[in-house]
Amino acid sequence: METFTINDEFIKLGQVLKAAGLCGSGVDAKYAIIEGNVKVNGVQELQRGKKIRPGDVVEFNGKQIRIESK
């Protein structure tokens, strides 16, 4: 499992996918989420603007990313 560090209290799900390199663009992230291909803490998530906080685990395309804070 990889980690992704954020500086703020939260980051939006679409931003995590793009910034962590799981999706090539924000549009790709949008469609991945809308199509139900993304899980947050093991639960399918359909909201692009879902607030992701430290400790959350985002899953997409066979990869898991744990969110950490600085």
**What is the reported pLDDT for 64?**
96
Spell out the SS3 assignment of the chain. CEEEEECCCCEEHHHHHHHCCCCCCHHHHHHHHHCCCEEECCEECCCCCCEECCCCEEEECCEEEEEEEC
User: Strand pairing of 38-40 and 11-12?
Assistant: unpaired
Number of domains in the chain: 1
**What is the reported pLDDT for 51?**
97
Taking only the tens of pLDDT, the chain with its 70 residues reads 899 999 999 999 999 999 999 999 999 999 999 999 999 999 999 999 999 999 999 999 999 999 999 8
Q: Which domain holds residue 57?
A: 2-69
CATH of the domain at 15: 3.10.290.10
Cα angle vertex 60, ends 41, 1, to 5°? 70
pTM of this structure: 0.92
**What is the reported pLDDT for 70?**
87
Determine the Cα–Cα distance for residues 53 and 30; give it in Å rounded to an integer.
19
